[in-house]
Chains A and B, each alone.
Chain A
């Protein structure tokens, strides 16, 4: 069993001590391959937590389990205090409305303009009137630094711009928890740095929980308050960033120091 429990000393989100995401004894297999093996994990609210690890270690699987998009083979997954796999479909949809997600490929609606993409959850979920929708979308586009692209379609934006618009849409409903699946994947170093900065600034401004799945060590170092490292079906390390960065565990060190795989322990 792999256990990683960490409760931060300061919680900017307020008095709530319930975890944003809690996994208890979670196992997930794909065919004969066990991706997550009896994983225990508790991600605190009000902080940015980065989950690191090489490709294929179950980072995205963990995210999909937390959102109820994928069921575990065993164990309990609680997100924002709700057991997502014993909840009814309506309860699951309700808890998802308290979350936002930024997908690796952004998942923007290609047939809609940028404005309509960001407006989508405001119109369809929050049922806001058009004046409120316009005000909120303009505010969000300004927040992500792209106030002038509202009438373009996503295919006319750069990779970094699409990522920013996806973030604007993910936080449109003022969620308590935002999940990022490889937010800097496929971006050039400068654009990655600007996305990191945006994530950092947005988290500070909103004070909500950000969970970032990434294999970008530098990105995690910049944005995370807490860091977890997945390895070999479990959580190899978890704790405040400084603590994990000071780890002497050879597996953790090899990943953080980018030691080539054939030389790693």
Chain B
């Protein structure tokens, strides 16, 4: 039975997302959405910045070690620029969003279910999906790009700091190689990834917050747990899909 439910999960998720987006039209409650977006960014950005700063630094260490044998340590920033900005930093931004915001959204909604607040809204004749789910998904869609852009900047700063101050790479060479890899199109792609990954985190988190067995307070923890795990899996799968879609066609051609 559980296996069947697991197989049906993507379909149920898609149906829920469709319902939520329909409920959001023509526009979700503006004030709620704005407040949620600001709150999401305030809570998630610090996590995103910290995680990607260290990741940028670690990528630089590995790049420098790998390139050392070719005597090309000074272009370590190029690898971090390509791999980090295009793939790792957006992925980590999505993962951090799933962990921080996904858990919070799912537990908020599940707590409202457990205490019958969702039913209270429905009993007032209000559409709980429009009122609770749609603004949260839209907030994730709006906040996602900022998280990805912050991740890119923070990752590059982390790479620069470790490269220059720890590994002794020349400042000009480090900064030049980092920026050489990053074009305007990568920033645009980052924004698009932010919208998609943010939206997916929002859909998974609100879905898990709105479903599951009602078994008292433990339902809240269980929903948060599902939102984080499933959110991360969906983010990883989507990041791979986007990567193949955007960059896969470039394999075999000069970048």
Q: A103-B116, A105-B116, A107-B117 are in contact. Are A69 and B122 (CB under 8 A)?
A: yes
Report whether B125 and A93 are in contact in the complex, using a CB–CB cutoff of 8 Å.
Answer: yes
Residues of A within 8 A of B131 (CB): 124
Report whether B116 and A107 are in contact in the complex, using a CB–CB cutoff of 8 Å.
Answer: yes
Whose C-beta in chain B lies nearest to the C-beta of A67?
Answer: B123
CA separation between A93 and B119, bound complex, in Å? 12
Whose C-beta in chain A lies nearest to the C-beta of B116?
Answer: A107
Determine which of B116, B117, B120, B127 lies in contact with A93 in the assembled complex, contact meaning CB atoms within 8 Å. B127
Residue B8, interface by CB 8 Å: no
Report whether B115 and A96 are in contact in the complex, using a CB–CB cutoff of 8 Å.
Answer: no
Report whether A96 and B125 are in contact in the complex, using a CB–CB cutoff of 8 Å.
Answer: yes
CA separation between A110 and B125, bound complex, in Å? 20
Q: Number of A-B pairs whose CB atoms are under 8 Å?
A: 48
Report whether B119 and A69 are in contact in the complex, using a CB–CB cutoff of 8 Å.
Answer: yes
Residue B254, interface by CB 8 Å: no
Residue B15, interface by CB 8 Å: no
Query: Chain B: how many interface residues by the 8 Å CB criterion?
Result: 12
Report whether B117 and A125 are in contact in the complex, using a CB–CB cutoff of 8 Å.
Answer: no
Query: Chain A: how many interface residues by the 8 Å CB criterion?
Result: 23
Residues of A within 8 A of B126 (CB): 93, 124-125
Residues of B within 8 A of A245 (CB): none
Distance in Å: Cβ of A260 to nearest Cβ of chain B: 29
Q: Name B109-125 residues within 8 Å CB distance of A.
A: 115-117, 119-120, 122-125
Whose C-beta in chain B lies nearest to the C-beta of A98?
Answer: B125
Report whether A125 and B124 are in contact in the complex, using a CB–CB cutoff of 8 Å.
Answer: yes
CA separation between A101 and B120, bound complex, in Å? 7
* 5 closest cross-chain pairs (CB), A and B: A97-B125, A107-B120, A107-B116, A96-B125, A101-B123
Residues of A within 8 A of B (CB): 67, 69, 89, 93-97, 99-101, 103-105, 107-110, 120-121, 124-125, 173
